[in-house]
A and B are shown apart, each in its own frame.
Chain A
Amino acid sequence: MSGKRDEDTGKRRDFLKLAGFAAVTGGGLLAGGTKPAEAAVEPETPSHGYRETEHVKAYYKLARF
């Protein structure tokens, strides 16, 4: 049984070797993230400014009361 498993992972490895990754060179970017392990989701970016504005507007509206 473990022989079949090893065979499967061997097949998988061979497939991945030919799948086109190795040619993907692109240096630092692919070596990738400076993100810490806990930041598993999207950090705030400047383009989230629109959402901030909506929340602020809602606050102002509520603050009138």
Chain B
Amino acid sequence: MAPGAASYGEEDVLRARFYRLLSHLLQAPPKVEDIELLAGMTGDSTPLGEAVGGVARVAAGIAPATIAREYHNLFIGLGRGELVPYGSYYLTGFLHEKPLAKLRADLIRHGIERAPEVREPEDHIAALCEAMAGLILGEFGEPATLDDQKTFFKTHIAPWAKYFFTDLEAAKSAVFYAAVGRAGVAFMEVEETAFEML
């Protein structure tokens, strides 16, 4: 498949699934059934595989209520959590800044819009991961070309996401989510390396 062609291969489905997994875990704490699935994951000896194995091990050994509490302390707190998982915040120190405006314009161009009942800004890491999954799989129209995906990734995700995942790995409140952070770092590195090959 050439970078200008709009379709996707098996490895792109796997990428999209990984984005979706991250999105799922970062928008809400996983439910009991999800945790069981996570505990059943296996990974090989690559950095990504090992990070996934790490998530599975923690998922297998931690109580769901503990994960929920982690999520709350990390992302909700009282007014704010330990981390602020928004692109504008990481790039400018404030929410609702230029990076968000740029993202909104790009989302409109791609036919993606915020669900009406959602109040949070679109540059939340979970939303961006969801956007990438949808672009890869063609859920907002035709599957995005690799060039298009690369541009979107480099513009809206690459400048800050790895820093966020690194912070997540190191966060005080994080044990399960520390493993998720490590998986996020590994995945971002795979995405960066793969896009650089184009």
Q: Which residues of A contact B (CB under 8 A)?
A: 2, 5-6, 8-9, 11-13, 15-33, 35-45, 47-48, 50-51, 54
Contact = CB atoms under 8 A, between A and B. Distances in A.
Given A29-B34, A40-B131, A20 B48 contact: yes
Interface residues on B, range: 35 or more
A13 B11 contact: yes
Given A12-B194, A21-B18, A32-B24, A5 B3 contact: yes
A35 B117 CA distance: 13
Interface in B157-198: 186, 190, 193-195, 197-198
Contacts, number: 169
B163 to A, nearest CB: 20
A38 B43 contact: no
A40 to B, nearest CB: 5
A30 B21 contact: yes
A38 to B, nearest CB: 6
B122 interface: yes
Nearest to A53: B78
B194 A41 contact: no
Contacts of A12: 146, 194-195, 197-198
B198 A41 contact: no
A23 B77 CA distance: 35
Contacts of A37: 112, 134, 139-140
B3 A40 contact: no
Contacts of B71: 47
A24 B43 contact: yes
